[in-house]
Structure 1
Amino acid sequence: MADPRPVWEELRALGDVVPAPWGGYFVTGFEACSQVLRGRNWLVPDFDWQERQPDPRRWREPATREMTRTLSRLNPPVHTFQRRALGNLFDRGTLEAMRPSIAGHVTRLLDRLALQLRSGGEADFAATVGDRLPIHTVGQWLAIPAEHYPRILDFTHRQVHAQELLPTKSELAVSAQATLEMRAFFTRLIAHRRRHLGNDVLSGWIRYWDDRYPDDRAAADQTLYDLTMFITIASLETTATLLTNAVWFLTRDPALADWLRRHPEHIDAAIDEVLRYDPPIHLNSRYAAADTLLAGVPVAKDTTVHVLYGAANHDPRRNANPHVFDIGRKGAHLTFGGGAHYCLGMALARLEARLLLGELLERFPTLRPTAGPTYASRMVFRRVTSLMVTA
């Protein structure tokens, strides 16, 4: 967890496509991973695929089924239908409209960080700022009252176990309970908003899907729940990890932090290098829609492949000296995915990171980590649980 780079390097030394112990393959090379993410003959493990497995019971856990209905686990034409309905969620106009409120959240959260630093000498950046900025951002965008934010974060952290590669029974039980809480919360939210429609994003979705399903309120409610729940929770842990990783990598080197403070025009490049160096998602899965070849390896229909973002981003054939953190490299990364499932919230995550780093570097020129980050024990979604800092 603290440093996955040796694991990526060892796997990549075995080839671009490496057999996994439980069947299927790890995909390690940049070009092979890009081919899987962008290719139309690679699909996400949806309900149909799950039912074709030798032991489909593995996929019938309530938390697993809940996530299988979301955009990240839908294939065309259903995925195409829902994604087109959303449009470009975070286009330039939307981001510019959101910028003042995000900047306000950044200032208030950094005020809280400053208070903790003055009173205690050190503070947990992850808990104080990193975890909180994404929920404040998406919560206000969807007009969710702020008193609900801690609860949303809590069930998001627990529900994510169901999206692990090999979850244990106890982890699935934790996810099942979190799923019940999540379903109750968003169901009530949508019902309340339908009774009090406004000019917010969620009200617009309600009007759209009620119009699409005029004679089937249950279908409209299910689609609204799936979209609202997924877009909310998908924007939290991944962005939080990006934000805390950025502070860790950029402030542990005082000279780099000082240079970036004096050259803020390079903040976007720094964000991209953070995303390349330590992606918030370590692994994503696809299956072959038909018998195919991947990097010269025969892959049978329905076989699962696991795209390793970190291994791909550290492929020396694509990024020279990949284990060197270099904000001037102008390299390439696959952290936001590709193809039909390219990350919906990419532009929003970048904006949050840009605004946070710009103000943090200016206000806290001597901010430094007092120790390395601590991490949740996961294989798929990276989560920094703590980063202690001082100024």
Structure 2
Amino acid sequence: MTTPQDTLLSLFTPGGRSNPYPLYSRLLEQAPVAAIGSQHALVTGYQESSDVLLNHRLFRVPDRSYADRFWSGWRNHASAAALYRSLLFLNPPESQPVRRLVYRFFSPKRVEQMRRMIGRHAAAHVAPLIANTGSVDATQSFVNIPNTVIGELLGIPHRDMRQLAEWLDMFLERNELHPPDSRLESADDVTPQIFSYIREKLLEFYADDETNLVGSLAQHWKAADEQDLISNLIFILGAGTVTTVSLLGSGLLQLAKDNALLHRLHTDDTLLKSFVLEVVRHDPPIQYGARVAAEDTELGGVHIPRDTLLLVCFGALGRDPRRFANPNNFVADRFVSGESDQNDVVSFGLGTHRCVGADLALTTGEIAFRELAQRIERLSLVSSPHRQNRSVVRKFSRLEVQTLRRSAV
């Protein structure tokens, strides 16, 4: 019989990273909270994960004080030092001023005002899918809509965004785990280049422009804290691209498997919103979030010692049959039919640490898939899709598709 420990080990193999969902199902049945040694635990259950995410006093993000205790050399790594200065690793009350500043720019009202701009970028990135009668790799076109959207919000020219996106992808990939990847030096090498670009090309040009995200933050930031400002801009750039890029890739894969659904999205905006939520539930862009127990406690009947690092598994909690009916099935109208409540989708987090860019990601997804459905009649896979060999981010390295353009009639 396979033990929870065997299943945990399988998760971090190439096969487990490529398709972790059968393993998640096994863990949900065997151990919704599974201890990994004496100082780590994996949380897969929906209720148990919610209990962790909503209790920011008891379960805190691994901040600089945690890093000092468990990874004494982190300050010697430029990339890690930058991330630990960002909102990603700040706890209340320190995180609240930064969070309020960032949220001002990504509030539902502001995102609603971005729709026309997002639509322009969506149209430009769908065009290559229908311009070529052969196959096209969607990782080089459609899924990159978020890169140019966030680029415009920060004032980054399109010609610069490709290189920045490559740097940021490496920066984040090497820093996904705690402690990070042993290949951290490559992320450290590009960090000064990212800092220089933001300082010289963005801060100098947009510091006084409140319509630009850089200026919006810079005008409320103390000059002495420039390093923190740049670190947060790096985080916003990275998180704002990689999350939605992954969402678009997973959604495109679903539509390539089900052209009847593509036709339904062509005429049904209500279904479109439910479809995007179902993509986020069924195959979340980010699979894990880290929390640290501030004191000895119990979770799901499992003893959790102080300083235990918990991996909250967003990929698994959306598959919990205690919360979602037929959780392993992709049901595009799940949130239209009343089968599930859209508020139960917590793949972007809960409470004080919920992703501040969640509304932008969901809106970008809706606009991108609407544009796709309006312009494409048929969509098919040309070859097996390839995911990056990563545990946290569900990103494709290759996603080759072939399309048939929708007639103008």
TM-score of the superposition, structure 2-length normalised? 0.87
User: 2:370: which partner in 1?
Assistant: 358
Distance 1:379-1:195 versus aligned 2 partners, 3 A rule: closer
Cα deviations by residue, 1:311-334 (Å, 9 ceiling, x for unpaired): 111111111211111112233332
> Alignment partner for residue 31 of structure 2, among 5, 11, 15?
15
Match of 1:186 among 173, 182, 198: 198
Deviation of 1:87 (Å) = 3.9
Match of 1:271 in 2: 276
Q: How many residues align structurally?
A: 378
Contact 2:122 2:367 in 1 (8 A): yes
Deviations 1:90-112 (A, max 9, x none): 23432232111111111111222
64-73 or 182-191: which moved more?
Answer: 182-191
Structure 1 counterpart of 2:121: 105
Pick one of 280, 285, 302 that aligns with 2:285.
280
Stretches (4+) displaced over 6 A: none
**Match of residue 253 from structure 1:** 258
- In structure 2, distance between residues paired with 1:91 and 1:194: 21
2:394 maps to which residue? 382
* CA displacement at 1:58 relative to structure 2: 5.9
Moved more, 58-67 or 279-288: 58-67
300-309 vs 15-24, which moves further: 15-24
Q: Helix, strand or coil for the counterpart of 2:233?
A: helix
What's 2:104 paired with? Answer: 88
Cα 1:189/1:104, change in 2 over 3 Å: same
What's the CA shift string for 1:18-38, capped at 9, x where partnerless? Answer: 012573100010000111111
Deviations 1:191-244 (A, max 9, x none): 4226775742322322222xxx3xxx332x123212222111111111001011
| Partner SS state of residue 208, structure 1 | coil
Q: Give 5+ residue unaligned stretches, structure 2.
A: 1-16, 404-409
Q: Which residue of 2 aligns with 1:218?
A: 224
Deviations 1:344-373 (A, max 9, x none): 111111111111111111211112222332
**Which residue does 1:333 correspond to in 2?**
345
Query: In the alignment, does 2:138 pair up with 1:125?
Result: yes
**Aligned mates of 1:291, 1:190 — CA distance in 2:** 45
Q: Distance in 2 between matches of 1:269 and 1:129?
A: 20
What are the superposed Cα offsets for residues 57-108 of structure 1, whole Å, 9 maximum, x if unpaired?
Answer: 3675332222111101001221012112334322343223211111111111
Amino acid at match of 2:315: G
Q: What is the letter of the counterpart of residue 262 of structure 1?
A: T
Distance in 2, matches of 1:50 and 1:13, equals 33
Once the two structures are superposed, what CA deviation does each residue of 1:146-173 show, in whole Å capped at 9, x if it has no partner?
221111111011111332226442x212
**Match in the other structure for 1:315:** 320
How many percent identity over aligned positions? 28
Q: Does 1:76 align with 2:81?
A: no
Residue 66 and residue 326 in structure 1: after superposition, are their counterparts in 2 closer, same or farther (change >3 A)?
same
Q: In the superposition, relative to structure 1, how do residues 195 and 34 fare at CA in structure 2: closer, same or farther (>3 Å)?
A: closer
Deviation at 1:187, TM superposition (A): 2.1
Please tell me the residue identity of whatever aligns with 2:309. Answer: T
Structure 1 position 295, deviation (Å):
1.1
CA contact under 8 A between 1:20 and 1:26: conserved in structure 2? yes
Structure 1 unaligned residues grouped into runs of 5+: none
Native 8 Å contact 2:207 2:218 kept in 1:
no
Q: Residue 218 of structure 1 aligns to which amino acid in structure 2?
A: A
Structure 1 counterpart SS, 2:220: helix
User: Normalization by structure 1: what TM-score?
Assistant: 0.91
Between 329-338 and 73-82, the greater mean CA deviation after superposition: 329-338
1:172 and 2:184 are equivalent in the alignment: yes
From 145, 150, 154, give the equivalent of 1:138: 150
**Counterpart in the other structure of 2:14:** none
Q: Provide, for residues 367-391 of structure 1, a one-character-per-residue CA deviation record: whole Å limited to 9, x for no partner.
A: 2222332111111122111211112
User: What is the Cα-based RMSD across aligned positions, in Å?
Assistant: 1.9
Greater mean alpha carbon deviation, residues 138-147 or residues 299-308: 138-147
Residue number in structure 2 paired with 1:157 = 169
Change (3 A) 1:59 1:196: closer
Residues in 1 aligned to 2:72 and 2:27: alpha-carbon distance in whole angstroms: 29
1:30 pairs, out of 35, 41, 46, with 46
2: CA distance, partners of 1:327 / 1:59: 45
Cα separation, 1, equivalents of 2:49 and 2:331: 23
| AA at the equivalent of 1:285 | A
The answer on 1:208 being equivalent to 2:220 is yes
